[in-house]
Chain A
């Protein structure tokens, strides 16, 4: 069956940047984000049959992205030991410092907690959409979101106050 490669290429070109930005918040690393997006696009391509082959291909790609991320993080989990505390660093300096502080704080969350926050607060997904994309209940998403935000507040410490001046 024809794969409609050009159709997929158009889709991937249109969605690649968005997927990458989400992957970057998930991984906190440029190269890992590249790898995650390429893996995601590969999986989407694998079942791409044309423009009508997948309902909501953008949503499907996002689902594949976050689930692939969670899956990969689990595989690496045994070798990852959260250090608990952030280095003593001011987040007052500039965007770069804030970016680093956020990434370090997110890195201290479990893969699913991080995915929940990224979908909810970066992708602006609803509780229900987040639950569907991660394959969990809305209650679990709500609970994870609550505890992840609480954890984020603790990890960021005083630096979290600086986030309030960003709007």
Chain B
């Protein structure tokens, strides 16, 4: 008797899709999508719910969104995000961000904990966003983020009116770093215990990474799960400045 893998090969060969693929439609549809993708090459930080306009250099910062943790055993897949296209070697710094790899890198860099409700996507401007719920055992936290590529971005701490804090730094390699911690809502009297901590980097090579966390399992509408978000600002910083986001 054949092994199951041999039987699988033969079975797949025999019962593959029975109809002729619509190649003309695939080609025209692919070109149309490719043209749309090209037009979206204005890289902007944006994202889902938590993300707020970093680009406006005001108030809140984009907090990334996440998604499902790979079932791979930790360390099994040692992947890095590279601005260079992995197959062609072509410099794809403008538009080659790989959503799956980005999410996997972020999840790999997290301290031990449970991850659930992972979501991710590519925004209208080409930025990869992700969101998930992370629980280190002390309370669930929504973590969100985004990664985009393009040109190095100039940003500065916004005016903060809700009691939060913000600090800017420029690292030795020229990477601009902004770290923020404080209440989620800009209004000082609105759920001041609902916290959003976030870090943002803009590298000289154009890669921009935003990562944020809250002390609640959802951005809004949920009870606070812990006094503070699970990761310190230094831990968040370590993730966004990791060498896993390697240079092309």
User: Which A positions have Cβ atoms within 8 angstroms of B?
Assistant: 5, 8-9, 12-13, 16-17, 19-21, 24-25, 30, 33-34, 37-49, 53-57, 59-60, 63-64, 67, 70-71, 74-75, 77-78, 95-96, 98-99, 102, 110, 112, 117, 120-122, 124, 132, 135-137, 139-140, 143-144, 149, 152-153, 160, 163-164, 166-167
Contact = CB atoms under 8 A, between A and B. Distances in A.
B31 interface: yes
A41 B121 CA distance: 18
B13 to A, nearest CB: 8
Contact of B4 (A9, A19, A21, A152): A152
A135 B16 contact: no
Contacts of B67: 74-75, 77-78
B154 interface: no
Nearest to A28: B17
B76 A137 contact: yes
B90 to A, nearest CB: 6
B35 A45 contact: yes
A149 B26 CA distance: 31
A72 B12 CA distance: 23
Interface residues of B, number: 66
Contact of B68 (A41, A67, A78, A121): A78
Interface in B61-119: 67-68, 70-73, 76-79, 85-90, 92, 95-96, 98-101, 103-104, 116-119
Contact of B78 (A30, A70, A137): A137
Contacts of A71: 98-100, 103, 120
Contact of A17 (B14, B21, B77, B119): B21
A105 to B, nearest CB: 10
B27 A9 contact: yes
Nearest to B120: A75
Contacts of A64: 87
**Interface SS of chain A:** helix
A137 B77 contact: yes
B160 to A, nearest CB: 33
A112 B70 contact: yes
A166 to B, nearest CB: 4
B224 to A, nearest CB: 23
A5 B23 CA distance: 16
A66 to B, nearest CB: 9
Given A5-B31, A12-B27, A24-B17, A163 B4 contact: yes
B11 to A, nearest CB: 5
Given A25-B16, A70-B100, A166-B14, A149 B36 contact: no
Contacts of B103: 71, 74
B7 A34 contact: no
A44 B87 CA distance: 11
Contacts of B174: none
15 contacts: A12-B31, A20-B26, A34-B22, A42-B29, A45-B33, A74-B100, A75-B120, A77-B68, A135-B98, A135-B100, A135-B101, A137-B78, A140-B72, A152-B8, A164-B1
